[in-house]
Amino acid sequence: MPPPLAYLITWTTYGTWLHGDERGSADRTSPRTPGTPYLGPDRARASFERDELKSDPVLLTPPMRELINNIIREHCTFRGWSIHALNVRTNHVHAVVSAPVPPEKAMGELKAWASRRLHESGLLDNEKIWTRHGSTRYLNDEASVDGAIRYVRDGQ
């Protein structure tokens, strides 16, 4: 099978989308295949997750969002990756990226560089900025890439 044309990579900020949330979630024990439903709402689990937070939830301000947008674009250029679409929101980031590395590695690098720049700029000093992982979807054909780009640009 040929490598994917791109990835849709999404991650959230720390503490803003907890397991048990009414929006649903996926955890390390739930299957991660496309079309698999999220875990449903669970007030007890959401309350437990909130109580376990080590710091306040992180919401990104407009200056933080601009900095993250710029560093992700710079890092993709530096690595020779193609960034097809990017949307940095107050509590999550979506990126459609073509890269010759696994999507987990790309996501890790983008999160690390964004964290580093946020700390260096003095805009945020939280130790934890992002959730532990995120979502990585393989886009294997042009229709999938186009759909992901539309979602990232217009679906927010």
Distant-in-sequence, close-in-space partners of 138: CB < 8 Å, separation ≥ 6 = 4, 7, 103
Check: CB of residue 103 under 8 Å from CB of residue 138: yes
> Tens digit of pLDDT for each residue in 63-98?
999 999 999 999 999 999 999 999 999 999 999 999
**Who wins on pLDDT, 58 or 120?**
120
Residue ranges and CATH numbers for the domains of the chain are 1-15+57-156 (3.30.70.1290), 17-56 (no CATH)
Indicate the pLDDT class of residue 124, thresholds 50, 70 and 90: confident
Q: Of all residues in the chain, what percent carry a pLDDT higher than 90?
A: 62
